[in-house]
Chain A
């Protein structure tokens, strides 16, 4: 894998990863944005669009409410793009199947993001106590600096997750590829359809709307019939 591509991915991972919790929250961290962004920088934006489409809805229903930390879909989508683009060029295989395999390997690794994020938030407790101490001593600037240190902790967690997902996927995919190559050729179309539908199903199952199922079925049926008949 090219070090330059890894670096580009790391920069996007850092920028988008911080948006998840620490700064802005303008949703550049969503897979539908982060994946096409990194893939565009690596010269294959359609791969990013494909990854973004498949991952976007998966954990959308896991809300970052209070102390809840959803799996890191940002790093999953960025790392999948970086690896899929590189391995696609290296192994000279069609991009669709390799993208799917990278994604299926990276998705479980997204749990690492939850773990590292949790650690960053625990370390930040110390910063809070330190800020309190500085404030009592009248060191206001130093108290403010503790907040920036918190952002640094989130940045380290983000880069850590990206590195783990990239290395894990990069090591596993070439081993698994020969074993599932044939199977993926036959199932890639269906898998591409299944991932967003699983996301929709999870949202449907967890969204707090009394008539969710009725609305969904009516909308699905109506849209499908319109497309079929018109």
Chain B
């Protein structure tokens, strides 16, 4: 028995709530069970459902944008199993096999690459005082993840285990690196823009702005050494406030003389 389109859409929407019951023991386990339950209910009689459902309550953790790909493939395998066909690998094994690599790729591509890239671009708009900046960010950021969420689920359901090959062919780890590199370039441009804009606002000579690269690199090295962002913020704020006060005193003293 094949799952109706309506049931599949229902499951896809439930996957948007995947992390609603995230916990330290089995991470997204309960959420994955919650998402798949409408499908499992259609495939299994009530007496077998408890046994099947318990497998889904186990440990599960992947990237939320790639979970629909796993869920689609798992549904396909469950469908085959309910028909009496033995899947080439155990569904439990398949789930465990793909969840961790998908999580690693998703984290690098979406959290580590796409998010700073979209934020960097949106901040150009924000720096210009354009009120659409949040919408620019939402549009740029969500375009690709939403595509993955929708097409991943469809591909997963159509291809089952073969969806892994589809995923491999897209060379996502390479894309993650390229996206991160693009993010660094955009952030470099953004920093230059912010510094230049600031110097113009306070009527200071522009070339001084090139020196801004030094504190950024120093702070970056400190962050790499493990110094917390909070500490960097507080130390930098205190330094700037003290230097500003000192500079104000010096200029007023010079004016008096």
Total A-B residue contacts, Cβ distance less than 8 Å: 319
Q: Which residues of A contact B141 (CB under 8 A)?
A: 27
Binary per-residue interface labels of chain B (116-148) against chain A in the complex, 1 for a CB within 8 Å, 0 otherwise:
100100110011010101100110011001000
User: In the complex, are the beta carbons of B111 and A147 less than 8 A apart?
Assistant: no
User: In the complex, are the beta carbons of A58 and B129 less than 8 A apart?
Assistant: no
User: In the complex, are the beta carbons of A56 and B24 less than 8 A apart?
Assistant: no
Of the residues A131, A151, A216, contact of B187 by C-beta under 8 Å: A216
Tell me the bound Cα distance from A148 to B61 in angstroms: 19
Kindly name the residue among A135, A208, A217 whose own CB sees the greatest number of chain B CB atoms within 10 A.
Answer: A135
Binds B, one of A5-13, A81-89, A158-166, A195-203: A195-203
Binds A, one of B2-10, B83-91, B192-200: B192-200
Of the residues A151, A186, A206, contact of B224 by C-beta under 8 Å: A206
Binary per-residue interface labels of chain B (39-82) against chain A in the complex, 1 for a CB within 8 Å, 0 otherwise:
00100001001100110010001001100000000000000000
B side interface size, CB within 8 A: 98
Q: Which residues of A contact B162 (CB under 8 A)?
A: none
The reply to whether the CB of A174 lies closer than 8 angstroms to some CB of chain B is no
Q: Which residues of A contact B193 (CB under 8 A)?
A: 223, 227
Of the residues B37, B142, B188, B210, contact of A26 by C-beta under 8 Å: B142
Tell me the bound Cα distance from A49 to B22 in angstroms: 31
Q: Which residue of B lies closest to A124 (CB)?
A: B23
Q: Is the interface of B mostly helix, strand, loop or mixed?
A: helix
User: In the complex, are the beta carbons of A147 and B20 less than 8 A apart?
Assistant: yes
Of the residues B33, B111, B183, contact of A131 by C-beta under 8 Å: B33
Contacts A36-B131, A124-B23, A136-B50 known; list 9 others, CB within 8 Å: A24-B16, A26-B145, A65-B103, A104-B234, A131-B33, A132-B54, A146-B30, A220-B188, A222-B192
A-B contact pairs, 22 of them (CB 8 A): A27-B142, A28-B138, A32-B126, A33-B137, A37-B134, A53-B123, A58-B233, A65-B111, A124-B24, A147-B21, A147-B30, A186-B245, A190-B240, A193-B198, A195-B233, A200-B191, A201-B232, A202-B220, A216-B185, A219-B185, A224-B196, A224-B209
Q: Which residues of B contact A (CB under 8 A)?
A: 16-17, 19-27, 29-31, 33-34, 37, 41, 46, 49-50, 53-54, 57, 61, 64-65, 103, 107-108, 111-112, 115-116, 119, 122-123, 126-127, 129, 131, 133-134, 137-138, 141-142, 145, 177, 180-181, 183-196, 198, 201-202, 206-207, 209-210, 212-213, 215-224, 229-230, 232-234, 236-237, 240-241, 243-245, 247-248
